[in-house]
Amino acid sequence: MTDDVTENDGELIIQLVGDVDLEHCAAVRGLLLDGVSHGKDLLVDMSQVTYLDSSGIASLLEALQLANKNGTAVKLFAASAQVMRVFELARLDRVFSIHSDLSAAIATES
Amino acid sequence: MTSIGRNEACQFGEPLELILEQRFGAGLAGLKVVRGSVLAAALRCGFDEAGARDVALAVDEACKNIVVHAYRGEIAGDIVLSIYRCRGGIVLHLRDFAPAVDPTRIGPRELDDLRPGKRGTHFIRAIMDSAEFLPPPDGRGNLLQLVKRLE
């Protein structure tokens, strides 16, 4: 998995690629927490995520909680139906701010 | 080890056909392979793509629990996955050779509790129709049976 971080008008856009699972969750966690530590809103592009499990959910949740504590936001966008299913199973689809695409995520108030 | 085609016990009052038996080391590398095996088997058992992916997720979470909690993250033993087909659905057995677990101590975190972690067991319960520990054949390790009926 090769993830990517770009900056857009004061927000960090992180693209996650591949399986966000037990094998890769430590790297994803590090990337997300590092992003949150910059004090900027995170926009997480989920479009290239091929698999998400409870370990990946935990990494995202930890980043969200740290962002809430810091007064910033974590917004997800472009998740596939397969990935959305995992959020729904975890009943976190209403806890996370999840959007259809980048422009919708940017347009939503933190 | 992989074998195909043996007839086994009954579930839903129907005979079970063993369609896959796979033995793998309890490490991270094996998990992705298992997901693929379970996905293919669930499709073969009549589940649609979404249903088959659900079953693969549940088995993946169960395997992770074995790797992380039973074997405690060390590649200290194997997991044997047996997949059975019947007219009513799919039955999966996960056998490990770790110290016996206490099923009463295994449970998901309350979903309202938003602390990270401990959601894998919830996924298993939400997806599968039953998940229970059976006595292992020779008394060693643990044997988890997962059952999912076709809708």
- The whole-number pLDDT of residue B15 equals 83
Spell out which residues of chain A touch residue B50, defining contact as CB-CB under 8 Å.
Answer: 81-82, 85
pLDDT tens for A51-82 read 999 999 999 999 999 999 999 999 999 999 99
Spell out which residues of chain B touch residue A68, defining contact as CB-CB under 8 Å.
Answer: none
- Which residues on adjacent β-strands are paired with residue A13? A6, A43
Residue B96 tokens, joined: 């490990």
CA separation, residue B23 to residues A75, B34, B74, B79, B134 (Å): 40, 10, 16, 6, 19
Tell whether A36 is within 8 A of chain B (Cβ).
Answer: no
Give how far A7 is from chain B: nearest CA, Å: 27
Residue B132 tokens, joined: 């229970």
Q: Which residues of chain B have pLDDT under 70?
A: 1-13, 73-76, 107-112, 115-117
CA separation, residue B51 to residues A82, B36, B64 (Å): 10, 14, 20
Question: Which among B32, B116, B123 has the least Cβ separation from residue A89?
Answer: B123
B18 neighbors B6 (Cβ within 8 angstroms): yes
Tell whether A21 is within 8 A of chain B (Cβ).
Answer: yes
Helix (H, G, I), strand (E, B) or coil at B64: helix
Least confidently predicted of A1-10, A30-39, B58-67? A1-10
Helix (H, G, I), strand (E, B) or coil at A45: strand
Give how far A42 is from chain B: nearest CA, Å: 18
- The whole-number pLDDT of residue A2 equals 61
Question: Which among B57, B61, B116 has the least Cβ separation from residue A61?
Answer: B116
Question: Which among A51, A54, A95 has the least Cβ separation from residue B61?
Answer: A54
Which residue shows structure tokens 């490490």?
A: B27
Tell whether B70 is within 8 A of chain A (Cβ).
Answer: no
**What is the value of pTM for the model shown?**
0.89
